[in-house]
Amino acid sequence: MKTKYIFVTGGVASSLGKGIISASLARLLLARGYSVTIQKLDPYININPGTLNPYEHGECYVTEDGAETDLDLGHYERFTNVPTSQANSVTTGRIYLSVIEKERSGGYLGETVQVIPHITDEIKNRILLLGKTKQYDFVITEIGGTVGDIEGLPFIEAIRQLRLELGKNALCIHLAYIPYLAAAGELKTKPAQHSVKLLLEQGVQPDIMVCRTEHKLSDSNRSKIALFCNVEKSCVIESMDAKSIYEVPLLMKEEGLDIQVLKKFGINTKTDADLKDWTAFLKKLFNPKHEVTIGLVGKYVELKDAYKSISEAFIHAGTSLNCKVNVKWLDSEKINDKNVKQQLQGLSGVLVAPGFGKRGIEGKIVAIKYVRENDIPFFGISLGMQCAVIEFARNVMKLRDAHSIEMDENTNNPVIALLEEQKTTSGFVGNMRLGAEDCFLKDDSLAKRIYKKSKISERHRDRYEFNNAFLDVFENAGMIPTGLNLKGLVEIMEIPKHKFFIGVQFHPEYKSTVENPHPLFVAFVKAAMSN
Ligand code: GLN
């Protein structure tokens, strides 16, 4: 089968859940036996979200091959269990960078370099590349932002051209918001109609309308949307608020989204999507037998999207154990020696979050001291592990000024430091360790018991590392490195005397999916349950 391209645009408002709709459609197509990948095109000028404050777009998600991407890619992987890559995340910045680099190296000699055709050609290449590198049956391309945004214009123009070039092998799904006017007591379809008008002005006619709504669409709502947006009535798909994002594939199936897509492509719809495992997951998710409360200590607590992959990993792990995990969000800036007991009261486990920079660091260290001394299950991720190392050095090894050189360049005890080779790398993002790396686990460690194998591969996003000059002193004091990479860098730290105390330099949360809950999260939730 020739690769089919599905474009997903959004109208009326942002945050309607284009990512979840794209991921749900992918799930449905996978459940019919097709191969599918999802790509996100983001109209902002940053090369990637790696340098963005989480307040802007939430968490930065990292792929196997080290792309720093939008958090929607996390949803794609969690729903599909198919890894994404550099090619699945493209920003305006990256497009312009490629075009400008090509211009500088003489690639367009004699030509005036313009938005059309050069920028749009580059966008089209990035979309088509996914169908070429691996022969996917379907490539779903989600366009970030809302139609009408100035910065989104080249992307919509690229879609217009591609639809013409690909003919029957491309279609467009437009997701629009249908607001409910309480005073009038009715749903209003006009904003959605207007957003389709905007798309039409740019030359794109949607084939399918997905209508995000808080109330059920009436038959006359559907007729109106069909009439004014030029789509068949069967292609007006209702997308109601769901109890969980993981319910959306089922809701989309009930509305026939996958069937309409297949019909538009002229593909046989006789076989059905096999969602047995997905339904079983939902059944467990909605009927937990146990409940546990875990503290998540971070500095973006008012912004839960900053730790999206962690909270989703808890859902996957908890569900596999028939357990509802309540996450209590704790602001590390508000934790101190005096209130730590009260702040962590009633928690069955504590996770200390990843992060960058000094803000809130001392609160994390105080929280770790408390859980270490009180034998409460602890799980530290990246900066969380580094804080555990600092806390241990200060309070057990009595190196009072121990720190990471990220926070204190002049400490006499830099237990977390930069590698020599990193010091000479130029550029702000140049010396980051990004993407998957192998890690070797020591026999007789908690990590090995959890993973049940000696060699694992996990994703990184960090700049600083455990300083191996301190290896022996830590081991002698009872904090043991149990996972090392090929170069001998410490990836995992444990306190074996403790019930469950593990810190990892990598980010296991990125690899947790509905199909494969991450073993570290499962083990941590289990430890919390029996605490
Ligand atoms: N700031 C730390 C480092 O760069 C930890 C990074 C993280 O938590 N991902 O190493």
How many C-beta atoms surround the C-beta of residue 171 within 10 A? 20
pLDDT, position 389: 98
The residue whose CA is least distant from atom 8 of ligand 1 is 354
CA–CA distance, 21 with 248 (Å, rounded to integer): 7
Q: Enumerate the β-bridge partners of residue 212.
A: 177, 239
For residue 356 and ligand 1, the question of a CB distance below 6 A is answered with yes
CA–CA distance, 369 with 394 (Å, rounded to integer): 10
CA 139 to chain centre: 19
Cβ atoms 40, 77 nearer than 8 A:
no
Both tokens of 306, joined, read: 């900053």
Q: Enumerate the β-bridge partners of residue 139.
A: 5, 37
Q: Enumerate the β-bridge partners of residue 326.
A: 293
For residue 431 and ligand 1, the question of a CB distance below 6 A is answered with no
347, amino acid identity:
L
For residue 383 and ligand 1, the question of a CB distance below 6 A is answered with yes
Give the DSSP letter of residue 334.
G
pLDDT, position 171: 97
Integer-rounded Cα radius of gyration of the chain: 25
CA–CA distance, 329 with 55 (Å, rounded to integer): 16
289, amino acid identity:
K
The pTM assigned to this predicted structure is 0.94
Query: 236-240 and 433-441 as β-strands: parallel, antiparallel, unpaired?
Result: unpaired
pLDDT, position 426: 55
For residue 108 and ligand 1, the question of a CB distance below 6 A is answered with no
Cβ atoms 74, 59 nearer than 8 A:
yes
Question: Rounded to the nearest whole angstrom, what is the distance from the C-alpha of residue 288 to the centroid of ligand 1?
Answer: 34
Give the DSSP letter of residue 345.
T
What is the C-alpha end-to-end distance of the chain, expressed in Å? 53
**Residue 472, CB-side half-sphere exposure with 13 Å CA sphere:** 1
Residue 58 vs residues 83, 305, 518: alpha-carbon distances, Å: 20, 5, 21
For residue 355, give the ligand 1 atom closest to its CA. Answer: 8
Give, for ligand 1, the residue of 59, 390, 428, 463 to mutate: max count of ligand atoms closer than 8 Å to Cβ: 463
pLDDT, position 428: 56
Residue 520 vs residues 92, 375, 447, 451: alpha-carbon distances, Å: 36, 18, 8, 8
pLDDT, position 270: 82
pLDDT, position 268: 87
CA 439 to chain centre: 22
For residue 462 and ligand 1, the question of a CB distance below 6 A is answered with yes
CA–CA distance, 125 with 123 (Å, rounded to integer): 5
CA–CA distance, 228 with 193 (Å, rounded to integer): 6
Give yes or no for a cis peptide into 117 (omega within 30° of 0): yes
Q: b or e along 482-500 (b: 16 or more beta carbons within 10 Å of the residue's beta carbon)?
A: bbbbeeebbbbbbbeebeb
The residue whose CA is least distant from atom 1 of ligand 1 is 356
Question: Rounded to the nearest whole angstrom, what is the distance from the C-alpha of residue 332 to the centroid of ligand 1?
Answer: 16
Both tokens of 76, joined, read: 């794609």
CA-based torsion, 218, 220, 223, 229: positive or negative:
negative
For residue 353, give the ligand 1 atom closest to its CA. Answer: 8
Question: Rounded to the nearest whole angstrom, what is the distance from the C-alpha of residue 346 to the centroid of ligand 1?
Answer: 29
CA–CA distance, 333 with 176 (Å, rounded to integer): 39
CA–CA distance, 205 with 227 (Å, rounded to integer): 13
3-state secondary structure at position 83: coil
Residue 291 vs residues 230, 258, 287: alpha-carbon distances, Å: 48, 35, 11
Q: Consecutive sets of 10 residues in the chain, 531 residues long: mean pLDDT of each? A: 95 90 97 95 88 81 94 95 93 95 94 95 95 88 94 96 96 97 93 96 97 95 96 97 95 96 92 92 97 95 87 98 97 95 96 94 97 97 98 97 95 90 62 93 97 97 95 96 95 97 98 97 97 87
Q: Which of 157, 174, 154 is nearest to 92 (CA)?
A: 154
For residue 382 and ligand 1, the question of a CB distance below 6 A is answered with yes
pLDDT, position 427: 58
Q: Enumerate the β-bridge partners of residue 457.
A: 438
Give, for ligand 1, the residue of 62, 361, 407, 464 to mutate: max count of ligand atoms closer than 8 Å to Cβ: 464
Question: Rounded to the nearest whole angstrom, what is the distance from the C-alpha of residue 354 to the centroid of ligand 1?
Answer: 6
